[in-house]
Amino acid sequence: MKNTVAPGAVLGRITASGKYTLSAATGADGAQVAVAVLLYPVNATLADAVGIVVARGPSIVSRAGLAYEGTVNDAAKIPGKIAQLASVGIIARDGV
């Protein structure tokens, strides 16, 4: 990640490095699969930074609190990311 990342960011994991980054709608580096949610803001503008994430469940997060990478931008892509999180036990619910 080379930017400031907000809490609730939906993250994928780059297969080659094991580092988390924003989970885009498509890609080939592994990060296109949502596997974690960032809990606190991280400033990775100048270099990689350490952050705290929820990376497995059972865990419940607020659907309204999730933040997506810019290419996850429509009603067809967001449910896909929510399903990917659910596959690792992170359940997004309304009203949490």
Give the architecture-level CATH label for domain 4-93: Beta Barrel (2.40)
Per-residue confidence (pLDDT) for residue 22, from 0 to 100:
95
Q: Is the pLDDT of residue 17 over 90?
A: yes
Please state the pTM of the whole predicted model: 0.93
Q: Is the pLDDT of residue 2 over 70?
A: no
Find the mean pLDDT for residues 64-77. Answer: 94
Q: What CA–CA distance (Å, rounded) separates 38 from 53?
A: 4
Q: What is the mean pLDDT of the chain?
A: 93
CB of 45 within 8 A of CB of 4?
A: yes
What's the pLDDT tens digit per position in 34-52? Answer: 999 999 999 988 889 999 9
What residue ranges do the domains of the chain occupy? Answer: 4-93
Q: Is the pLDDT of residue 19 over 90?
A: yes
Q: What is the number of H-type helices and E-type strands within the chain?
A: 1, 8
